[in-house]
Protein backbone atom coordinates (compact mmCIF):
# COMPACT_ATOMS: atom_id res chain seq x y z
CA UNK A 1 0.00 0.00 0.00
CA UNK A 2 1.19 3.53 -0.83
CA UNK A 3 0.19 6.42 1.43
CA UNK A 4 0.30 9.82 -0.24
CA UNK A 5 0.26 13.21 1.47
CA UNK A 6 -0.35 15.96 -1.05
CA UNK A 7 0.42 19.64 -0.65
CA UNK A 8 1.35 22.69 -2.71
CA UNK A 9 4.72 24.33 -2.32
CA UNK A 10 5.85 27.63 -3.89
CA UNK A 11 9.32 26.90 -5.23
CA UNK A 12 12.10 28.73 -7.01
CA UNK A 13 12.88 25.51 -8.83
CA UNK A 14 15.90 25.66 -11.09
CA UNK A 15 15.19 28.00 -13.97
CA UNK A 16 12.17 30.22 -13.33
CA UNK A 17 9.52 30.42 -10.61
CA UNK A 18 6.33 28.42 -10.26
CA UNK A 19 4.20 26.34 -7.93
CA UNK A 20 4.52 22.62 -7.60
CA UNK A 21 1.94 20.11 -6.35
CA UNK A 22 4.26 18.02 -4.21
CA UNK A 23 3.67 14.75 -2.44
CA UNK A 24 5.28 12.56 0.20
CA UNK A 25 5.17 8.85 -0.55
CA UNK A 26 5.67 5.81 1.67
CA UNK A 27 6.51 3.12 -0.83
CA UNK A 28 8.97 0.40 -1.64
CA UNK A 29 9.27 1.76 -5.18
CA UNK A 30 11.98 4.33 -6.08
CA UNK A 31 10.70 7.89 -6.08
CA UNK A 32 11.62 10.22 -8.94
CA UNK A 33 11.56 13.99 -9.13
CA UNK A 34 11.73 14.48 -5.33
CA UNK A 35 8.04 13.36 -5.29
CA UNK A 36 7.03 16.06 -7.81
CA UNK A 37 4.36 14.85 -10.20
CA UNK A 38 5.42 16.78 -13.30
CA UNK A 39 3.03 14.99 -15.63
CA UNK A 40 -0.23 15.68 -13.82
CA UNK A 41 0.14 19.27 -12.69
CA UNK A 42 -2.55 21.75 -13.64
CA UNK A 43 -1.48 24.31 -16.30
CA UNK A 44 -1.47 27.20 -13.81
CA UNK A 45 0.89 25.22 -11.55
CA UNK A 46 3.55 24.67 -14.16
CA UNK A 47 3.26 27.56 -16.60
CA UNK A 48 3.07 25.44 -19.73
CA UNK A 49 2.33 28.54 -21.81
CA UNK A 50 5.97 29.52 -21.65
CA UNK A 51 5.49 31.89 -18.76
CA UNK A 52 7.43 29.73 -16.34
CA UNK A 53 9.65 26.69 -16.21
CA UNK A 54 8.77 23.22 -17.49
CA UNK A 55 10.70 19.95 -17.55
CA UNK A 56 12.39 19.24 -20.88
CA UNK A 57 10.00 17.11 -22.97
CA UNK A 58 12.44 14.42 -24.03
CA UNK A 59 15.69 13.20 -22.49
CA UNK A 60 17.22 13.38 -25.99
CA UNK A 61 16.00 16.88 -26.87
CA UNK A 62 19.28 18.66 -26.06
CA UNK A 63 22.03 16.03 -26.55
CA UNK A 64 24.80 18.60 -26.11
CA UNK A 65 23.80 19.51 -22.54
CA UNK A 66 26.56 18.72 -20.06
CA UNK A 67 26.50 18.48 -16.28
CA UNK A 68 29.70 19.52 -14.50
CA UNK A 69 30.21 17.18 -11.57
CA UNK A 70 32.48 16.74 -8.56
CA UNK A 71 32.47 14.64 -5.39
CA UNK A 72 29.38 16.52 -4.16
CA UNK A 73 27.37 16.08 -7.37
CA UNK A 74 26.29 18.49 -10.10
CA UNK A 75 27.29 22.14 -9.66
CA UNK A 76 27.22 23.81 -13.12
CA UNK A 77 26.14 23.31 -16.71
CA UNK A 78 28.01 23.26 -19.99
CA UNK A 79 27.63 22.59 -23.70
CA UNK A 80 29.33 20.11 -26.01
CA UNK A 81 30.79 22.21 -28.86
CA UNK A 82 33.29 19.68 -30.24
CA UNK A 83 33.79 15.96 -29.90
CA UNK A 84 36.28 16.62 -27.10
CA UNK A 85 35.42 20.06 -25.71
CA UNK A 86 32.81 21.54 -23.37
CA UNK A 87 32.06 25.28 -23.24
CA UNK A 88 31.11 26.68 -19.83
CA UNK A 89 31.56 29.70 -17.55
CA UNK A 90 34.97 30.44 -16.04
CA UNK A 91 33.38 30.94 -12.60
CA UNK A 92 32.36 27.28 -12.60
CA UNK A 93 35.89 25.90 -12.81
CA UNK A 94 38.08 28.66 -11.39
CA UNK A 95 38.74 26.72 -8.18
CA UNK A 96 39.34 23.46 -10.06
CA UNK A 97 42.68 24.49 -11.57
CA UNK A 98 45.02 24.27 -8.58
CA UNK A 99 46.60 21.10 -9.98
CA UNK A 100 47.54 20.04 -13.49
CA UNK A 101 46.09 17.78 -14.70
CA UNK A 102 42.94 19.07 -12.99
CA UNK A 103 41.76 17.52 -9.75
CA UNK A 104 40.28 14.08 -10.31
CA UNK A 105 36.95 14.94 -8.71
CA UNK A 106 36.01 17.22 -11.64
CA UNK A 107 34.29 15.37 -14.45
CA UNK A 108 31.65 15.95 -17.14
CA UNK A 109 28.45 13.96 -17.59
CA UNK A 110 26.67 13.78 -20.93
CA UNK A 111 23.30 12.18 -21.59
CA UNK A 112 21.87 13.11 -18.18
CA UNK A 113 18.20 13.99 -17.79
CA UNK A 114 16.97 12.80 -14.41
CA UNK A 115 19.66 12.27 -11.77
CA UNK A 116 17.38 9.80 -9.95
CA UNK A 117 16.76 7.66 -13.02
CA UNK A 118 19.65 5.22 -13.51
CA UNK A 119 18.11 3.37 -16.44
CA UNK A 120 19.55 5.74 -19.07
CA UNK A 121 23.00 5.46 -20.59
CA UNK A 122 24.54 8.68 -19.38
CA UNK A 123 28.33 8.77 -19.59
CA UNK A 124 31.02 10.40 -17.46
CA UNK A 125 34.15 11.92 -18.97
CA UNK A 126 37.35 12.89 -17.22
CA UNK A 127 38.79 16.35 -17.84
CA UNK A 128 42.28 16.57 -19.29
CA UNK A 129 42.64 20.33 -19.25
CA UNK A 130 40.78 23.45 -18.14
CA UNK A 131 41.21 26.53 -20.33
CA UNK A 132 40.02 29.77 -18.68
CA UNK A 133 39.99 33.06 -20.56
CA UNK A 134 43.22 34.90 -19.85
CA UNK A 135 41.44 38.13 -18.88
CA UNK A 136 38.84 36.67 -16.54
CA UNK A 137 38.93 37.97 -12.97
CA UNK A 138 36.49 36.83 -10.32
CA UNK A 139 33.83 38.06 -9.53
CA UNK A 140 33.49 40.06 -12.75
CA UNK A 141 31.14 38.89 -15.50
CA UNK A 142 33.61 40.08 -18.16
CA UNK A 143 35.41 37.35 -20.12
CA UNK A 144 33.57 34.70 -18.09
CA UNK A 145 34.19 31.79 -20.41
CA UNK A 146 36.12 28.52 -20.21
CA UNK A 147 36.69 25.35 -22.23
CA UNK A 148 37.10 21.86 -20.79
CA UNK A 149 39.15 19.44 -22.85
CA UNK A 150 38.07 15.86 -22.22
CA UNK A 151 40.53 13.00 -21.95
CA UNK A 152 38.93 11.29 -24.93
CA UNK A 153 36.43 12.00 -27.69
CA UNK A 154 32.72 11.41 -27.22
CA UNK A 155 30.82 9.01 -29.46
CA UNK A 156 29.12 11.05 -32.18
CA UNK A 157 26.42 8.36 -32.41
CA UNK A 158 25.36 9.04 -28.82
CA UNK A 159 25.91 12.78 -28.40
CA UNK A 160 25.48 15.80 -30.64
CA UNK A 161 27.37 19.08 -30.40
CA UNK A 162 25.61 22.42 -30.53
CA UNK A 163 26.60 24.87 -33.25
CA UNK A 164 28.46 28.05 -32.41
CA UNK A 165 27.17 31.35 -33.80
CA UNK A 166 28.91 33.19 -36.58
CA UNK A 167 31.49 35.66 -35.35
CA UNK A 168 30.07 39.11 -34.48
CA UNK A 169 26.50 38.26 -35.48
CA UNK A 170 24.39 41.32 -34.78
CA UNK A 171 20.87 39.96 -35.23
CA UNK A 172 20.50 38.47 -31.78
CA UNK A 173 18.46 41.27 -30.22
CA UNK A 174 14.77 40.69 -29.56
CA UNK A 175 15.14 36.98 -30.23
CA UNK A 176 13.45 34.35 -28.11
CA UNK A 177 15.68 31.53 -26.94
CA UNK A 178 15.82 28.72 -24.41
CA UNK A 179 17.87 28.23 -21.27
CA UNK A 180 18.18 24.84 -19.60
CA UNK A 181 19.63 23.51 -16.38
CA UNK A 182 19.29 21.64 -13.09
CA UNK A 183 19.37 24.74 -10.87
CA UNK A 184 18.54 25.04 -7.17
CA UNK A 185 15.06 24.50 -5.75
CA UNK A 186 13.58 24.88 -2.28
CA UNK A 187 15.68 23.75 0.69
CA UNK A 188 18.79 24.51 -1.38
CA UNK A 189 18.40 21.34 -3.43
CA UNK A 190 19.16 21.02 -7.11
CA UNK A 191 16.47 19.88 -9.52
CA UNK A 192 17.04 16.26 -10.45
CA UNK A 193 15.18 16.73 -13.79
CA UNK A 194 16.49 18.96 -16.58
CA UNK A 195 14.32 22.09 -16.83
CA UNK A 196 13.85 24.70 -19.55
CA UNK A 197 12.31 28.12 -19.96
CA UNK A 198 12.20 30.89 -22.56
CA UNK A 199 13.95 34.25 -22.45
CA UNK A 200 14.26 37.07 -24.97
CA UNK A 201 17.44 38.95 -25.75
CA UNK A 202 17.21 42.68 -25.01
CA UNK A 203 19.58 45.66 -25.28
CA UNK A 204 22.46 45.60 -22.78
CA UNK A 205 21.24 48.78 -21.13
CA UNK A 206 18.37 46.76 -19.65
CA UNK A 207 20.98 44.96 -17.55
CA UNK A 208 23.13 48.08 -17.13
CA UNK A 209 25.90 46.37 -19.07
CA UNK A 210 28.61 48.45 -20.68
CA UNK A 211 30.67 45.64 -22.22
CA UNK A 212 29.77 44.21 -25.61
CA UNK A 213 31.15 40.83 -24.51
CA UNK A 214 28.01 40.28 -22.41
CA UNK A 215 24.39 39.64 -23.32
CA UNK A 216 21.19 40.59 -21.51
CA UNK A 217 17.96 38.57 -21.64
CA UNK A 218 14.61 38.50 -19.84
CA UNK A 219 11.00 37.36 -20.14
CA UNK A 220 8.63 38.24 -17.33
CA UNK A 221 10.02 36.50 -14.22
CA UNK A 222 11.92 33.75 -16.04
CA UNK A 223 15.57 33.51 -15.11
CA UNK A 224 18.29 31.01 -14.31
CA UNK A 225 19.05 29.96 -10.74
CA UNK A 226 22.12 28.96 -8.78
CA UNK A 227 23.50 25.79 -10.31
CA UNK A 228 22.46 26.77 -13.86
CA UNK A 229 25.67 28.77 -14.45
CA UNK A 230 27.70 27.65 -17.43
CA UNK A 231 24.65 26.28 -19.24
CA UNK A 232 23.51 27.44 -22.68
CA UNK A 233 21.29 30.21 -23.96
CA UNK A 234 20.18 28.76 -27.31
CA UNK A 235 18.38 30.27 -30.29
CA UNK A 236 16.98 28.29 -33.23
CA UNK A 237 18.23 29.50 -36.57
CA UNK A 238 16.91 27.28 -39.40
CA UNK A 239 13.61 27.68 -41.20
CA UNK A 240 12.39 24.34 -39.91
CA UNK A 241 13.60 25.40 -36.44
CA UNK A 242 15.46 22.11 -36.03
CA UNK A 243 18.88 23.60 -35.35
CA UNK A 244 20.15 25.56 -32.39
CA UNK A 245 23.08 27.90 -31.93
CA UNK A 246 24.80 28.70 -28.67
CA UNK A 247 24.49 32.47 -28.23
CA UNK A 248 25.07 32.80 -24.50
CA UNK A 249 26.54 31.19 -21.39
CA UNK A 250 24.47 31.55 -18.21
CA UNK A 251 26.15 33.74 -15.58
CA UNK A 252 23.62 35.28 -13.19
CA UNK A 253 20.29 34.53 -11.55
CA UNK A 254 19.05 38.10 -11.45
CA UNK A 255 16.26 39.52 -13.63
CA UNK A 256 17.12 40.53 -16.31
CA UNK A 257 19.81 37.85 -16.43
CA UNK A 258 23.36 38.23 -17.72
CA UNK A 259 25.15 35.92 -20.14
CA UNK A 260 28.54 35.70 -21.81
CA UNK A 261 27.98 36.65 -25.45
CA UNK A 262 29.53 33.78 -27.40
CA UNK A 263 29.61 35.71 -30.69
CA UNK A 264 32.23 37.96 -29.09
CA UNK A 265 34.47 34.98 -28.28
CA UNK A 266 34.15 32.84 -31.42
CA UNK A 267 37.74 33.53 -32.53
CA UNK A 268 39.05 32.78 -29.02
CA UNK A 269 37.07 29.53 -28.89
CA UNK A 270 38.37 28.25 -32.24
CA UNK A 271 41.92 29.22 -31.32
CA UNK A 272 41.71 27.14 -28.13
CA UNK A 273 40.13 24.21 -29.95
CA UNK A 274 43.05 24.20 -32.39
CA UNK A 275 45.95 24.97 -30.11
CA UNK A 276 44.60 24.51 -26.57
Q: Is the pLDDT assigned to residue 90 strictly greater than 80?
A: yes
Q: Write out pLDDT tens, residues 159-171.
A: 999 999 887 666 6
b/e for 184-198, b at 16 or more Cβ within 10 A?
Answer: bbeeeebbbbbbbbb
Q: Write out pLDDT tens, residues 213-227.
A: 899 887 666 666 778
Query: Which is more confidently placed, 156 or 101?
Result: 156
Q: Write out pLDDT tens, residues 61-83.
A: 999 999 999 988 899 999 999 99
Q: Is the pLDDT assigned to residue 44 strictly greater than 60?
A: no
pLDDT for 48: 21
Tell me the domains of the chain and their CATH numbers: 3-46 (no CATH), 47-276 (2.40.10.10)
Rounded to an integer, the average pLDDT of 125-153 is 94
Closest CA to 234 of 271, 197, 209, 270: 197
> How far, in Å, are 51, 65, 185, 274 from residue 48 at the CA level?
7, 22, 18, 42
Amino acid sequence: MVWTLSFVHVCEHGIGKHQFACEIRLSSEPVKGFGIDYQNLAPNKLGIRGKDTIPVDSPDEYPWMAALMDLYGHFCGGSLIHNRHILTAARCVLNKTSTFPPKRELYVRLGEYDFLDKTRKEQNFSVERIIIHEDYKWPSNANDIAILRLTHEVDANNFEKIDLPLENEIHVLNKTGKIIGWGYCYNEKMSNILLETSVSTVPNRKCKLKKSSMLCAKKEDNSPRKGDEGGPLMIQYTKDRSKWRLYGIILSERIPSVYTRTTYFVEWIYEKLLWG
